């Protein structure tokens, strides 16, 4: 199904709106492939068509929603009826509604690459097999590969509404991932890495092999460190994780409900003056780039923190109306759920502190973080309390030292931002759509064995 | 969902290029939910998902294709795509015939309950929670039900179906005080229908969530360091699910990604530990009649008196080992391949009075409720959030503690269990994630004492 066919389908549902009703229909169609290899053989090969439709109906400020995994006429008709019925039971809110066109012109970002279709299945399988082979061959300490895989998808998305919004886009994506194992006496250390691109030919296996192998092999012999106050050195992947946690608390819904540590703090210094953060889906270099948000409004660059000062929040049309700030084009959604404000393509400006090696070299006592565990349970997005498990290597006098595990770092999201002591100059576009340099955060409590 | 003749026909197509095994998994899922937040019923959502996944196995390779099109044309196309992905094998299809199953009993189907009744549950919960104390400043609540009908047919002649209904209710409160905002939650869910609310009073659940939030206002920062830890009954089961159960899944064991590989018959835990996975546990969140490969649910003892006696198996791994499946082949939806998954996983109750267990600790932490966690199945290292915890001083529970993390290693914790209480309980309903697939699971524990665990708190 082409984007225009999808849009026509969405329009047919919207055209059934009764007087006084607002309707928004989002639908998607795509095909995907997924290859998993193990021990030099294809373990599984999946091919699939994926469809979805979500129907939002508003009657007098009351919202109902229904979704389905089929675009068959009978199912689509059922969903419209069900969404209407659901709206009867919701309570009215004057700010609830679909997005209204706001005059912002959408950027032209090309999200489709032909490689997903033109590269043969055999070549894709060969890519996954090569990834596994290279990880196994990279070091005698690698004792196995739990899974190596390749997957890609090509799909179209369309949205139409009674407010006159009509959007149809198409996009491709491809990724590889691998988990290396390194048996270490009675324990097994693991290293996971992945890469993503719009075209399979742009995937960088070298990078993936290096990271997966290093994280497994360098963890051999890991022990629990003594409790201490340390600097955390975060490569771009980990910097994206930590800043992403903060950005997740800057959404309009959290702020309006008082569930963010940053409520009422716009204009204040909330971070190191070295930190500038924006959400920018208009940047074609980011894999999170998109011309439109989940309600069909044009995406735009949304400054969040400039030189450490909080600028504002991420809004969809509902939180934009309710707060008076207006939508920032930040609605995110699948077709199977209601839109809500969120992050598209987080961007942290490069600083002046050099690359990861330089950050390490200028650290007296620190931890180079390989992974953070328990982010879901260990980060309270309301209070900002932060206590998560950490694995990585100690840094002593500018040198990488012993690997550590079974320890935690504790702080708050608020303090982590203020304690950023260096922003690297190694801006990296990550496969998850975040663009960020390495970061260093000072004065963090590492809890391990009692001193 | 699909006629028997058509199933035979599709399985024949799936085997037509040569294979060892073929399977059709069809699913029809309806979900409904209502959410209340910020003083308002925000929205009601409904969803419908129907489709089939077709799997073809030859040797160690699996071809898989799924489609939302259940017409003969759609199913044959998927069967051809799955068949084209693998090579070799000489199986011939056996005509499918039904095996008897007993789906869970549902007294009141949620789809027959008026939406207004569901809305009213949330309103009552909100009212009561707000009235509990002036410090309760925010309340949110959610109701959700699912009816999942599945059908499995395979080239070995299996034809089985199940009809799985689940109902869930949760309420969260935020209390505001001098220490900032603190949250309290309560969740109940069972594999039954709307009669869930004959068992549980939503007002009592709301009061409990409010009390949890209020208690935390008075909480002190959790200590950091290595201390004895007593885990209360119920929610602590998630620790054994994550830190031990995953390591007993045959697919991870086979790939050397488990701390329990090659250890059958060994004393892997304290003799007080008996760990069981039981898909037949009536009404529990992880219960079903058949797994997603058509095998009957079973009760499987994994660790008995500290000795590792068995792993968990799906059909593929069981066939490789020439043994019967254990009823642990599960998948998130027809869009996913099945793999080895837990059902209801629990540590069996012991002999000790829970009060005596607490009294045996001079200085430690009592974890009344454990939250979500993360585990590295290969190393067994885990991190779990403490949602509700108290300091133990001189054998007594004293100050409530703010949130913190429990850090440890699954296999080592099993060795460090010093006491097991006689007060076994199942914990709240859970969703287990593995390789991107979430499935409903239950878990439980009695009160138990771990000689030492690392606590990552925020106390200076």
Q: Is residue A450 scored above 70 in pLDDT?
A: no
List the structure tokens of B311.
């792993």
Angle at B430 between CA A146 and CA B411, to 5 degrees: 50
The pLDDT value given to residue B404 = 83
Instruction: Please check whether residues B67 and B186 belong to one and the same domain.
Output: yes
Measured distance CA(B313)–CA(B297) in Å, rounded: 12
Whole-number Å distance between alpha carbons of B173 and B37: 10
Give the β-pairing of B329-330 and B180-190: unpaired
Residues 6+ apart with CB under 8 A from B31: B45, B46, B47, B144, B145, B146
For residue A68, the chain B residue with the least C-alpha distance is B48
Mean pLDDT of A429-444: 97
Residue B408 has pLDDT above 90, yes or no: no
* pLDDT tens-place string over residues A64-90: 999 999 998 999 999 999 999 999 999
- Is B403 near chain A, with CB under 8 Å? yes
Q: Look at residue A451 and tell me whether its pLDDT is greater than 70.
A: no
Residues B100 and B173 in one domain: yes
pLDDT in tens, A234-261: 999 999 999 999 999 999 999 998 889 9
Q: Which of B148, B183, B217 is the endpoint of a domain? A: B217
Residue from the list B46, B86, B409 with its beta carbon closest to the beta carbon of A86: B46
Q: B240 and B387 share a domain? A: yes
Using a pLDDT cut of 90, give the percent of chain B over it: 77
Does one domain contain both B164 and B244? no
> Mutating which of A96, A389, A450 best tests the B interface, going by the most B Cβ atoms within 10 A?
A389
Q: How far is A282 from chain B (nearest CA, A)?
A: 29
Contact criterion met (CB < 8 Å) for A383 and B181: yes
pLDDT at B93 over 80: no
Put simply, whether B33 touches A (Cβ < 8 Å) is no
In the prediction, which pLDDT does B460 show? 54
Q: Do B378 and A450 touch (CB under 8 A)?
A: no
**Average predicted confidence (pLDDT) for chain A:** 95
Residues B286 and B339: their CA atoms lie apart, in Å, by: 15
| Cβ separation B383–A51 shorter than 8 A | no
Among B304, B278, B303, CA closest to B442? B278
Query: Which domain-ending residue is among B183, B200, B217?
Result: B217
Size of interface A-B (CB pairs under 8 A): 247
B109-119 confidence digits (pLDDT tens) = 999 999 999 99
Q: What is the separation, in whole angstroms, between the first and last Cα of chain A?
A: 64
Closest-CA distance, A292 to chain B, in angstroms, reads 24
Q: Kindly provide the ipTM of the predicted complex, given to two decimals.
A: 0.88
Report which of residues B425 and B222 the model is more confident about.
B425
Shortest distance between the Cα of A53 and any Cα of chain B, in A, equals 10
Interface of A with B in 142-181 (CB under 8 A): 143-144, 146-147, 179, 181
- Identify the pLDDT of residue A75: 92
Q: What was the pLDDT predicted at B415? A: 95
Residue corresponding to tokens 């939910």: B33
Residue A320 phi/psi, 5° resolution?
-65, -45
A69 min Cα distance to partner chain B (Å): 5
For the stretch A412-432, pLDDT in tens is 999 999 999 999 999 999 999
**Distance, CA of A237 to CA of A348 (rounded, Å):** 12
Chain A residues near residue B45 by CB distance under 8 angstroms:
64-67, 86, 337-338
Checking phi first, is residue B180 left (phi over 0); if not, alpha (psi -120 to 50) or beta?
A: left
Cα separation, A150 vs A130, in Å, equals 11
Residues of B in contact with A50 (CB under 8 A): 335
Name residues 318-347 of chain A within 8 A of B (Cβ). Answer: 336-338
Query: What percentage of chain B has pLDDT greater than the value 70?
Result: 99
Give A190's strand partners. A181
Question: Which residue in the set A69, A91, A338 is minimally distant from B49, CB to CB?
Answer: A69
> Are residues B374 and B365 in contact, defined by beta-carbon separation less than 8 angstroms?
no
Nearest to B65 among A48, A143, A181 (CB): A48
Of B217, B249, B267, the one marking the end of a domain is B217
* Average pLDDT of span A362-383: 90
The residue-averaged pLDDT of B17-45 equals 94
CA distances from B76 to B5, B16, B98, B161 (A): 13, 11, 22, 21
Claim to verify: residue B101 and residue B206 sit in the same structural domain: yes
pLDDT (average), residues A258-285: 96
Three-class DSSP labels, chain B:
CCCHHHHHHHHHHHHCCCCCEEEEEEEEEEEEEEEEECCEEEEEEEEEEEEEEEEEEECCEEEEEEECCCCHHHHHHHHHHHHHCCCCCCCCCCCCEECCCCCCCCCCCHHHCCHHHHHHHHHHHHHHHHHHCCCEEEEEEEEEEEEEEEEEEECCCEEEEEEEEEEEEEEEEEEEECCEEEEEEEEEEECCCCCHHHHCCHHHHHHHHHHHHHHHHCCECCCCEEEEEEECCECCHHHHHHHHHHHHEHHHHHCCCCCCCCCCCCECCCCCCCEEEECCCCCCCCCCCECCCCCECCEEEEEECCEECCCECCHHHHHHHCCCCCCCEECCCCCCCCEECCCEEEECCCCECHHHHHHCCCEEEEEEEEEEEEECCCCCEEEEEEEEEEEEECCEEEEEECCEEEEEEHHHHHHCEEEEECCCEECCCEEEEECCEEEEEEEEECCEEEEEEEEECCCC
Q: In sequence order, which residues have a C-beta less than 8 Å from that of residue A322 and are 6 or more positions away? A: A95, A252, A256
pLDDT band, residue A280 (cuts 50/70/90): very high
Identify from A44, A63, A144, A375 which residue to disrupt to test chain B contact, counting B C-beta atoms within 10 A and taking the largest count.
A44
CATH number at residue B151: 3.30.2290.10
**Chain B touched by A188 (CB under 8 Å):** yes
Q: Are B302 and B296 in contact (CB under 8 A)?
A: no
Beta strand A62-68 pairing with B40-58:
parallel
Euclidean distance between CA atoms B193 and A442, whole angstroms: 52
Across the interface, whether the CB atoms of B68 and A445 are under 8 A apart is answered no
Average pLDDT over residues B319-348: 95
Are both B29 and B157 inside the same structural domain? yes
As a whole number of Å, the CA-based R_g of chain A is: 24
Q: What is the fold, at CATH topology level, of the domain defined by A3-217? A: PmbA/TldD fold (3.30.2290)
pLDDT (tens digit per residue) in A111-146? 999 999 999 999 999 999 999 999 999 999 999 999
> Is B51 in Cβ contact with A70 (below 8 Å)?
yes
Q: Directed axis angle between helix B202-217 and helix B115-132, to 10°?
A: 30
Residue A271: per-residue pLDDT: 98
pLDDT value of residue A167: 97
Helix (H) or strand (E) holding A4: helix A3-14
Residue B277: the pLDDT is 98
- B165 and B280 share one domain: no
| Mean pLDDT confidence for B373-399 | 89
**Which one has a higher pLDDT value, A387 or A154?**
A154
Distance from CA of B249 to the nearest CA of A (A): 13
Q: How far apart are CA A403 and CA A400, in angstroms?
A: 9
Tell me: do B173 and B313 sit in the same domain: no
Residues from chain A contacting residue B67 (CB–CB below 8 Å): 48-49
Burial level of A268, CB count in 10 A (0-12/13-18/19+)?
exposed
> What does the DSSP 8-state code read for residue A215?
H
| pLDDT at res. B459 | 67
B159 and B293 share a domain? no
Q: Is B408's CB within 8 Å of A406's CB?
A: yes
Q: CA gyration radius for chain B?
A: 24
- Where are the domain boundaries for CATH 3.30.2290.10 in chain A? 3-217
Considering its fold, how many domains does chain B have in total? 2
Residues B309 and B398 in one domain: yes
Residue-wise pLDDT for A299-354, tens only, equals 999 999 999 999 999 999 999 999 999 999 999 998 999 999 999 999 999 999 99
Q: Which two tokens stand for residue A379?
A: 């980060």
Structure-model confidence comparison of residues A82 and B97, the more confident one: A82
CA distance A388 to chain B (A): 7
Is A407 within 8 Å of chain B by CB?
yes
* B278 vs B299: CA distance, rounded Å: 4
**What's the pLDDT band for B122 if we cut at 50, 70, 90?**
very high
B404-409 and B448-456: which strand pairing? Answer: antiparallel
**Angle subtended at Cα A180 by Cα A186 and Cα A392, rounded to the nearest 5 degrees:** 75
Contact between A389 and B40 using a beta-carbon 8 Å cutoff: no
Residue B108's domain comprises 4-217
Percent of chain A with pLDDT over 90: 88
Q: Do B232 and B182 share a structural domain? A: no
B152 and B254, same domain (yes or no): no
């Amino acid at each position: 199904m082409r984007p225009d066919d999808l849009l026509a389908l969405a329009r047919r549902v919207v055209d059934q709106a009764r007087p006084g009703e607002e309707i928004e229909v989002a639908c998607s169609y795509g095909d995907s492939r997924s290859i998993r290899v193990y021990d030099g053989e294809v373990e599984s090969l999946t091919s699939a068509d994926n469809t979805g439709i979500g129907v939002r109906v508003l009657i007098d400020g009351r919202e109902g929603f229904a979704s389905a995994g089929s675009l068959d006429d009978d199912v689509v008709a059922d969903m419209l009826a069900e969404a209407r019925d659901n709206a009867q039971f919701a309570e009215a809110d004057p700010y609830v509604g679909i997005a209204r066109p706001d005059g912002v012109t959408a950027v032209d970002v090309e999200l489709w690459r032909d490689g997903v279709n033109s590269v043969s299945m055999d070549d894709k399988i060969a890519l996954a097999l090569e990834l596994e082979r290279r990880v196994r061959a990279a070091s005698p300490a690698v004792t196995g590969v739990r899974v190596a895989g390749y997957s890609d998808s090509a799909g179209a998305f369309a949205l139409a509404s009674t407010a006159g919004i009509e959007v149809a886009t198409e996009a491709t994506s491809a990724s590889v991932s691998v988990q290396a194992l390194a048996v270490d006496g009675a324990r097994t250390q693991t290293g996971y890495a992945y890469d993503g691109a719009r075209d399979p030919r742009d995937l960088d296996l070298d990078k993936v092999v290096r990271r997966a192998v290093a994280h497994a092999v360098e963890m051999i012999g890991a022990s629990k460190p003594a409790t201490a106050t340390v600097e955390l050195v975060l490569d771009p992947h980990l910097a994206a994780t930590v800043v992403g946690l903060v950005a997740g608390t800057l959404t309009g819904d959290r702020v309006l409900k008082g569930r963010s540590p940053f409520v009422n703090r716009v204009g204040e210094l909330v971070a190191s003056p070295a930190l500038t953060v924006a959400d920018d889906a208009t940047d074609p270099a980011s894999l999170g780039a998109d011309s439109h948000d989940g309600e069909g409004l044009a995406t735009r660059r949304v400054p969040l923190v400039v030189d450490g000062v909080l600028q504002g929040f991420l809004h969809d049309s509902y939180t934009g109306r309710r707060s008076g700030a207006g939508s920032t084009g930040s609605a995110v959604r699948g077709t199977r759920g209601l839109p809500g404000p969120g992050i598209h393509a987080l961007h942290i400006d490069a600083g002046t502190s050099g690359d990861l090696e330089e950050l390490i070299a200028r650290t007296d006592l620190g931890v180079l973080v390989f992974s953070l565990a328990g982010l879901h349970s260990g980060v309270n997005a309301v209070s900002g309390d932060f206590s998560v498990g950490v694995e990585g290597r100690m840094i002593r006098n500018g040198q990488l030292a012993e690997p550590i595990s079974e320890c935690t770092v504790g702080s708050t999201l608020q303090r982590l931002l203020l304690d950023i002591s260096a922003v690297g100059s190694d801006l990296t576009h990550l496969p998850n759509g975040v663009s960020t340099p390495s970061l260093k955060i000072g004065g963090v409590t590492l809890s391990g064995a009692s001193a | 969902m699909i006629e028997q003749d058509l199933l035979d026909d599709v399985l024949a197509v799936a085997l037509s290029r040569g294979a060892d095994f073929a399977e059709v998994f069809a699913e029809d899922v309806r979900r409904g939910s209502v959410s209340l937040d910020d003083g308002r019923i925000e929205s009601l959502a409904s969803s419908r998902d129907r489709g089939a996944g077709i799997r073809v196995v030859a040797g160690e390779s699996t071809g898989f294709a799924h489609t939302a099109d259940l017409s003969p044309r759609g199913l044959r196309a998927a069967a051809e795509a799955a068949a084209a992905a693998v090579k070799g094998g000489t199986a011939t299809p056996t005509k499918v015939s039904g095996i008897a199953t007993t789906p869970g009993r549902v007294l009141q189907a949620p789809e027959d309950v008026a939406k207004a009744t569901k809305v009213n549950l949330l309103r009552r919960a909100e009212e009561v929670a707000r009235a509990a104390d002036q410090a309760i400043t925010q309340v949110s609540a959610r109701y959700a039900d699912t009816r999942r009908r599945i059908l499995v047919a395979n080239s070995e002649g299996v034809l089985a179906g199940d009809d799985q209904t689940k109902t869930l209710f949760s309420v969260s409160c935020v209390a505001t005080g001098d220490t900032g905002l603190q949250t309290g939650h309560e969740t109940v869910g069972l594999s039954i229908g709307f009669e869930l609310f004959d068992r549980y009073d939503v007002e009592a659940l709301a009061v409990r969530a409010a009390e949890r939030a209020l208690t935390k206002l008075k909480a002190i920062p959790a200590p950091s360091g290595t201390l004895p830890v007593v885990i209360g009954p119920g929610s602590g089961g998630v620790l054994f699910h994550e830190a031990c159960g995953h390591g007993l899944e045959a697919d991870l064991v086979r790939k050397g990604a488990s701390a329990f590989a090659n250890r059958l018959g060994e004393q892997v835990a304290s003799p007080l530990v008996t760990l069981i996975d039981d898909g037949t546990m009536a009404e529990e969140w992880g219960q079903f009649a058949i797994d997603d490969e058509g095998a009957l649910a079973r009760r499987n003892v994994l660790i008995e008196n500290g000795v590792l006696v068995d792993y968990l198996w799906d059909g593929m791994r069981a066939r490789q080992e020439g043994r019967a499946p254990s009823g642990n082949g599960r998948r998130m939806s027809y869009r996913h391949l099945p793999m080895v998954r837990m059902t209801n996983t629990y540590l069996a109750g012991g002999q000790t009075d829970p009060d005596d267990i607490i009294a045996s600790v001079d200085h430690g932490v009592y974890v009344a409720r454990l939250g979500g966690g993360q585990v590295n199945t290969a190393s067994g290292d885990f991190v779990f959030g403490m949602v509700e915890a108290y300091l133990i001083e001189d054998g007594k529970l004293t100050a409530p503690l703010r949130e913190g993390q429990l850090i440890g290693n699954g296999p080592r914790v099993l060795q460090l269990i010093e006491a097991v209480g006689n007060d076994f309980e199942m914990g709240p309903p859970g969703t287990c994630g593995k390789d991107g697939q979430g499935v409903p699971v239950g878990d439980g524990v009695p009160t138990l004492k771990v000689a030492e665990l690392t606590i990552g708190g925020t106390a200076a």
